[in-house]
A and B are shown apart, each in its own frame.
Chain A
Amino acid sequence: MLRGLWKLTWIEVKVFMREPLGAFGTIGFPVLVFIVLGRVVNFKAAPPSPAFSSFSRAGIPVFASLLIAVSAVLSLITIISIYREGGILKRLRATPLRPQTILTAHVIVKLILTAATLALMVLAGKRYYPVGAHVPLFSFAIALIISTWSILSIGFLIASIVPTARFAQPIGAIILYPMIGVSGLFVPVESFPPVLHAAVRILPPTYAVRLLQGIWNGDGWLAHVSDVAALTVLFLLYTALSAKVFRWE
């Protein structure tokens, strides 16, 4: 199972970094959003309302972090569909490589990417947020990696249903970005109509938002065991589902 995993992972990292737009789009976009939002908030020196202030405190970093996760997942969907269309997945399968190894390598690449983007964001955001002192960055990074890992399972499911590589990015975006919208980051999920409220309970971003916000604001891990458990259960659920419908060619 492990044979070839590290070599494949390392090659995928290198191949990804050689892709000019891929690396910029995935790493640059969330950082850019973070900086722009940070500036807007910063320049309006005094917070207009307590609600806005609380959003800007944990909301903006969490929003940007979710964008990091979604960017990574979108990039995964695109890569998988390109690899499938080009016969790369099939070619890799016609070796002693196990299919799980191929997909695991991609998940690891995306998690590394997520961590790298977060680090970049923290560096870029130092001017706007006095982070480091009171924000448990390491825990936050772990929380983001757990969140991304869970959302990646939806990525595999989407990668199974997109017909061609051309549609991968738009279809992924149409499905994933609204998930952030209804994740409870902007409007509390409790205020949703019952149907939507039930629906968002099977979406990883809902728990990711709670986990990330909590950790950013200084909660301990014990307070979020249920969120981590939910993210894990959803990961297993979507992985099992995509194992059933995933197409290699």
Chain B
Amino acid sequence: MRPVIEVSGVRKTYGATVAVAEASFEVREGEIFGLIGPNGAGKTTTMECIEGLRQPDRGTIAVLGLDPFRQVYKLQERIGVQLQQAQLQKRIKVWEAVDLWASLYRKPAIDADKLLEQLGLSDKRRAWFMNLSGGQKQRLFIALALINDPEVVFLDELTTGLDPQSRRAIWDLVRGIRERGKTVFLTTHLMEEAERLCDRVVIMEHGRIIAMDTPERLVATHCPERTVVLDTEDLTAAGSLRKIPGVESVECLGNRFTICGRGEDLVTEVIHCLSEHRIRVTDFRTILPNLEDVFLKLTGRSIRE
């Protein structure tokens, strides 16, 4: 099956600034694909090239088999777009915006009332855009991105600036989009968002792609370290724990033991060892690496810097 999006050797500069040095990747049908990385990594530029809003200096892009820049109007009929930090007219009403958007496409739009209801905006139909909360604005932008029943949906930094609760609600909505059989292409600098939402991710930094895989495999490949923290009064435990295969260090601070090692079986081995030696523990925690650790490992700096 042909990929929904094919990006090959794309480069984009603004004067002397290189926004995207080299980007190549493919997005498959029906997946949530994440382009992730710190602010200024070139994510939005890459996305806007794919949406046909910018022309890359070099390289080729195909979306649904179309050239996004040359066939932009044809493409826009079939995609839905949410832009980073976009606004609407301050005093446009929610229903007016949805109604306007619905009129812009050749094919009939989906049921706007139903869409607003699904997005929890029914009681805001007559509200002005300027009076919506951050989460409501983002949900309206999702509505506008879905109104033409698109095959691919682009979401740029969808939850930036939202509180954790709205963020979770939006994540559920994005999963809902995938369940309708659509492909979702999103960018985010929030690693938690990528891990929770994305089937596959591309990590971008300084305009280059530095890793590409499922979040789980990226973590397994680049950060095999596992840490187990447990509390026990049995101070002889250290000896037994050190003998576990894969364990690299056991630190002991009062009653608290911190066991570091690598390999997916480490946690199982620790549990096995505790039960075998009948070591009584009062607390037990595992610290697993995540995409943030992957980024740190790959670039030597934290994504939050």
The contact of B53 among A4, A93, A97, by CB within 8 Å, is A93
Could you tell me if A96 and B86 are in contact, using CB atoms closer than 8 angstroms? no
Residues 87-123 of chain A, each 1 if its beta carbon lies under 8 Å from chain B, else 0: 1101101111110000000000000000000000000
Q: Check if A91 sits within 8 Å of B88, measured CB to CB.
A: yes
Q: Is B103 an interface residue (CB 8 A)?
A: yes
CB atoms of B104 and A97 under 8 A apart: yes
Q: With A and B bound together, what is the CA distance between A12 and B96 in angstroms?
A: 11
The A-contacting residues of B in range 27-73, CB under 8 angstroms, are 51, 53, 73
CB of B87 within 8 A of CB of A91, answer: yes
- Knowing A18-B91, A94-B51, A95-B76, the reply to whether A11 touches B86 (Cβ < 8 A) is no
Known: A7-B103, A96-B105, A97-B104. A90 touches B88 (CB 8 A): no
A170 within 8 A of B: no
Residues of B within 8 A of A8 (CB): 100
Q: Are A94 and B81 in contact (CB under 8 A)?
A: yes
List of B residues within 8 angstroms of A94 by Cβ: 51, 53, 76, 81, 83
Q: In this complex, which of A14, A83, A95 has the most chain B Cβ atoms within 10 angstroms of its Cβ?
A: A95
Chain A residues with CB under 8 Å of B76's CB are 94-96
For A90, list chain B residues within 8 Å (CB). 53, 83, 86
Q: Are B104 and A91 in contact (CB under 8 A)?
A: no
Q: Is the interface of A mostly helix, strand, loop or mixed?
A: helix
**Cβ–Cβ contact A3 & B88, under 8 A:** no
Q: How far is the CB of A111 from chain B (nearest CB, A)?
A: 19
Measured between alpha carbons, how far is A11 from B92 in the docked complex, in Å? 7
Contact assessment for B83 and A87 in the assembled complex, using a CB-CB cutoff below 8 Å = yes
- Interface residues on chain B, size class: 20 to 34
**Among the listed A3, A15, A88, which residue makes an inter-chain contact with B104, where contact means beta carbons less than 8 Å apart?**
A3
Give residues of chain A (6-35) contacting chain B, Cβ–Cβ below 8 Å: 7-8, 11-12, 14-15, 18-19
Please name all residues of chain A whose beta carbon is closer than 8 Å to the beta carbon of B89 when the two chains form the complex: 11-12, 15, 83, 88
B99 CB–A CB distance under 8 Å: yes
Once bound together, how far apart are the Cα atoms of A19 and B89, in whole Å? 11
Beta-carbon contact of A91 and B86 below 8 Å: yes
**Would B100 and A7 count as touching, CB distance under 8 A?**
yes
CA distance A95 to B86 in the complex (A): 13
Contacts of A19 in B (CB 8 A): 90-91
Q: How far is the CB of B19 from chain A (nearest CB, A)?
A: 14
Cross-chain pairs A/B with CB under 8 angstroms, 14 sampled: A4-B103, A7-B103, A14-B91, A15-B92, A88-B86, A88-B89, A94-B76, A95-B76, A95-B81, A95-B105, A96-B73, A96-B105, A97-B104, A98-B73
Known pairs A15-B89, A88-B89, A91-B87. 8 more at Cβ < 8 A?
A4-B100, A11-B100, A15-B90, A15-B91, A18-B128, A86-B87, A87-B86, A96-B106
